Chains A and B, each alone.
Chain A
Amino acid sequence: MKRREFLAALAGAAISPAALAQSVPLERLLESATRGAPARPGRVKLELPVLAENGNAVPMKVTVESPMTAADHVKAIHLLSERNPVRNMATFHLGPRAGRAVVASRVRLAGSQRVVAVAELSDGSFWYDVAEVNVTASACMDES
């Protein structure tokens, strides 16, 4: 077994059964945020490290291209997880008073997965970006 495979197996085995969730198709994740409305890729930039040694605190930054004026702004950014027990990790409500549509935080990831950021614009359109993160030590373990 290669070292990489071994580490992947180790990370997979470390998740407690309660926290082990089946991954959800991207379409289903998007629907949960858009309430059925279509979402298009683009305008959103979700930045997460490609490799995270520890899933307990992974730096995350999301930027949406928007003038952030009263007529054209980002209303909300939904942060979704493909494999965490709680799919909707966070929702950030913004408005023209934000000036810029940039939010950063640190997230917990229960294993390697895709993270999705969906932006809800004032014109009712939805845009998204996906980031794939490889997590060597997952969150939701006993010592997390």
Chain B
Amino acid sequence: MAARIQVPAEARRGEVIEIRLLVRHPMETGYRVNERGQTIARNAIRTLTCTYNGVEVFRAELSPGIAANPYLQFTTVAESSGTLEFVWVDDAGERAVERAAIRVVE
């Protein structure tokens, strides 16, 4: 489960920064049928959490109502230099972690 993450490399303290996330995931609805006529089990990302230096700043509970390869765009306030960590878990229990570094200047 790979992802493309866009976080500005550098921001001013207090600046509201935009985070864009594109996660590779089928977000299986559980309503599709394969070529042998069997139902493909539902498997969507359930939760996706963004922590900034260990503090949760954004959390999304998702469902198959979100398109395959989910795109998420949200904001956070640049407080201090460090790491933004993105963790997501799907219905199959698969967990993925991605990180992005940010440098905060005065």
Report A's interface with B, CB cutoff 8 A: 16, 18-19, 56-58, 61, 79, 81, 84-86, 88-95, 97-100, 102-108, 139-140, 142, 144
Q: Say which residue of A16, A90, A140 sits within 8 Å of B63 (CB atoms).
A: A90
A19 touches B72 (CB 8 A): no
Closest residue on chain B to residue A90 by CB atoms? B62
What is the total number of residues of chain B having a CB less than 8 Å from a CB of chain A?
30
Within 8 A of A (CB), among B48-69: 52, 55, 57-68
Within 8 A of A (CB), among B27-80: 27, 29, 31-33, 52, 55, 57-68, 70-77, 79
Interface membership of B1, Cβ < 8 A? no
* Interface SS of B by simple majority: strand
Name the B residues within 8 Å of A61 (CB-CB): 73
Q: B70-97 toward A: CB 8 Å interface, digit per residue (1/0)?
A: 1111111101000000000000000000
Across the A-B interface, how many residue pairs have beta carbons closer than 8 Å?
102
- Assembly CA distance A100 to B77 (angstroms): 9
B67 touches A95 (CB 8 A): no
- Ordered by A's residue number, 29 sampled pairs between the chains whose C-beta atoms are within 8 Å are A16-B31, A18-B31, A57-B68, A61-B73, A81-B65, A84-B65, A86-B64, A88-B61, A88-B63, A89-B65, A89-B66, A91-B61, A92-B74, A93-B59, A94-B74, A95-B57, A97-B77, A98-B76, A99-B75, A99-B76, A100-B16, A103-B72, A103-B74, A105-B67, A107-B67, A108-B27, A108-B65, A139-B29, A144-B32
Name the B residues within 8 Å of A95 (CB-CB): 57
Name the B residues within 8 Å of A93 (CB-CB): 58-61
